[in-house]
Structure 1
């Protein structure tokens, strides 16, 4: 049964002969577990690659949309310049920036000494029994 060295199954039988306490179910379970782990890692890598691809494609779409908007704005400005109409928008921006200034109120601590009424010395003298 493959016990001779000339047999092609000699080394396989030798391993089985000295691993007699290992059950075949244990071996198949370990192989199945390795296969499941490998499949899980592969699925994880695929999902990460799909996420990166989708992100890249959305960025490309945004870039195309922005470039088309810029082209339309340049065409519009060119037509307006040719017709003599002055554009409100600068050539390198879509809208002018507005800087707003709001009136500031003075802090309460600065006005506290001015508004606070002071008691006369006569009233204080009457309260504390002074002359």
Structure 2
């Protein structure tokens, strides 16, 4: 008795099972396969482009914040140097009015006291008289 792979010599090919599967697919066309591959690759490219653009936005935001921080620190350094020069020359050492922190106080209104006795609806005595307890 012969082994299953030796029958007819057809199963010796490494593509035998692939060909067999393709051979019995009904209404299958090669264009369907290539179209699906192209569609998947297009989706992959779109996702990759989205990730890259998001990473670029994050990078640009971070770099803008770094530049802003550098600008603010250089302004503070200049203000400290200017203050130091003013102290050495004996001038007023207070910061200019534009750099002082302004604390604003707003007048508060007192809450209106709610009279609880008038706020609750009450049943009239006529309605209560009409209710009989059984």
- The TM-score with structure 2 as length reference comes to 0.64
- The corresponding residue for 2:75 is 69
Whether 1:80 aligns to 2:77 is no
Match of 1:19 among 11, 22, 25: 25
Q: Which residue of structure 2 aligns with residue 96 of structure 1?
A: 100
Q: What's the RMSD between the two structures over aligned residues? A: 2.4
Unaligned runs of at least 5 residues, structure 1: 102-131
Number of aligned pairs? 97
| Counterparts of 2:79 and 2:25, CA distance in 1 | 79
Q: Relative to structure 1, is the Cα distance of residues 100 and 15 closer, same or farther in structure 2, using a 3 angstrom cutoff? A: closer
Give the deviation of 1:98 after TM superposition: 4.9
The structure-2 alpha-carbon separation of the partners of 1:100 and 1:29, relative to structure 1 and needing over 3 Å to count, comes to: closer
Q: CA deviation at 1:85?
A: 1.1
- Between the aligned partners of 1:59 and 1:98, the Cα distance in structure 2 is 25
Quote how far apart the aligned CAs of 1:88 are.
3.2
Structure 2 portions without partners, runs of 5+? 1-8, 106-134
Q: Which runs of 4+ in 1 moved over 3 A?
A: 97-101
